[in-house]
Amino acid sequence: MAVKVIIPTPLRQYTDKRDSIETTGATVAEALAGLTTQYSALRRHLYNEEGKLRSFVNIYLNDEDIRYLQKDKTPLNDNDVISIVPSIAGGAAFGYRAIEFPA
């Protein structure tokens, strides 16, 4: 399936400054594997040493958190949109500090 992956600003330095990437895959895991194969420097920012998504990296499929779907085994359809959303509070790995928003 052809999908679009939205890249957050802090990670664009690893994707040739691109804000989105077209890739393919039958599942979210396959699409992210294709993305990190194409942009290998991105891998260490998304995955830990055991190959699991880092806890502060949230992945959304068409505005739905994949943790509430089938996680990285969530199937994809053509033209789906995957968004990589780093947690604001745990963002030290992305080079910025926690931000508190007023209530």
Return the CATH number of the domain spanning residue range 2-94.
3.10.20.30
φ/ψ of residue 61, rounded to 5: -115, 110
DSSP structural state of residue 49: T
Domain boundaries, the chain: 2-94
Average pLDDT over residues 19-40: 96
Enter the pTM of the model: 0.82
Strand partners of residue 2: 24
The pair phi, psi for residue 39, each rounded to 5°, is -125, 80
CA 47 distance to own-chain centroid: 10
Residue 101: pLDDT over 50: no
pLDDT digits (tens, 9 = 90+) for 45-68: 999 999 999 988 999 999 999 999
Quote the strand ranges of 1-93, DSSP E.
2-6, 20-24, 57-61, 64-65, 81-86
CB 14 within 8 A of CB 39: yes
